[in-house]
Amino acid sequence: MAEEAKNKASASKFRTSIGGQALIEGVLMRGPGKQAIVVRSPDGLVEKVEELTLVRDKYPVLGLPIIRGAVTFVDSMVKGVKALMFSADYFPDEDVAEPSKFDQWLEKKLGNEKMQKFITALAVFLSLGLTILLFFLLPTFLAGFIDPYIKSAAVHNLVESVIKLVIFFAYMILCSKQKDIYRVFQYHGAEHKTINAYEHGAPLTPESVGHYSRIHRRCGTSFLLVVIVVSIIVFSLIGGGSVLWRVGSRVVLLPLVIGLSYEFIRGASNSDTWGKYCIMPALSLQYITTREPSADQLEVAIAALDVALDPDKENKDTTSGGAEDGTDR
């Protein structure tokens, strides 16, 4: 069964809502009611578990179709940035100087907790801003250079779409060439293999999990490509106009694009007929953003899933000593 699963990215015995994210030397897993982070620090495995809270649970209107897509995207980004910051704390950059006077002043004024919230908000803002700038505004700006020569809105949208896809794939390929990112992509593969093994009812051991595919249909990478493609369709429907109009319309309509993309991925992920074939190009992108993990990396992903699925696990941070803690499977 495991050998067959290695070549099948989608078919599974049962579906779950489990999701995850690769971190710096670690993995985040979201179970039905808990979110777990496991990081392999120099001192052993570090676990952090907390209740999984969703914004739409507090405000039901945010759970409506289309709206929930943009809300989930931002919520996942916030949680992801927090998890990355948590994992990064265990691997400080030795080249970084002591905190500047501004950093010290900011922490003194805001306090440690507010300081962390400020840094998280700033990181989310910058990440979202860079995404919009690189994949939406830059292609629009570059395509504007053909305005004096081509008046056809259809041709202009085609050129912009090609530029958008080239930038997107070039960015992904360049990221995969970085040594540190390569290890994150290995943990990304470990995350997917572990979820695939669990959804097939296989034993959660490195030996068993290693046989499963590193491709998963609910991956955020696939979602990003779908967002790019949906944006091409939506922006083509609104026609041309000045560069300023095109830039403004891209920003205003982005929540709609994200919402439509979310509903498409949601439907396709639950379909074994049309959905399986529609998201196949998006799944192929994961061959760039995932890499074959080592046994140690699989152990981290398995430990994260175990913690996320344990209903009796209390919300806390713990540090273990590696093999002695029972995670050496």
Higher pLDDT, 325 or 310: 310
Q: What is the mean pLDDT of residues 209-238?
A: 90
pLDDT at 324 over 60: no
**pLDDT score of 71:** 93
Q: Looking at residue 56, what is its pLDDT?
A: 79
Report whether pLDDT(292) > 90: yes
Torsion, Cα of 281, 132, 190, 96 (10° steps): 150
Specify the pLDDT at position 328: 37
| Residue 157: closest CA among 254, 229, 232, 54 | 232
Residue 317's pLDDT is 56
Rounded CA-CA distance 61/224 in Å is 24
Assign 50 to helix, strand or coil. Answer: strand
Residue 315: pLDDT band (50, 70, 90) is: low
Least confidently predicted of 83-92, 163-172, 186-195, 298-307: 83-92
Query: Domain residues for 250?
Result: 2-325
Computed over every residue of the chain, the mean pLDDT equals 83
Strand-pair partners of 49: 36, 316
- Stretch 238-244: mean pLDDT, rounded? 78
- Structurally, the chain folds into a number of domains equal to 1
Q: Which residues make Cβ contacts (< 8 Å) with residue 315, sequence separation at least 6?
A: 49, 50, 51
pLDDT of residue 323: 34
* pLDDT at 251 > cutoff 80: yes
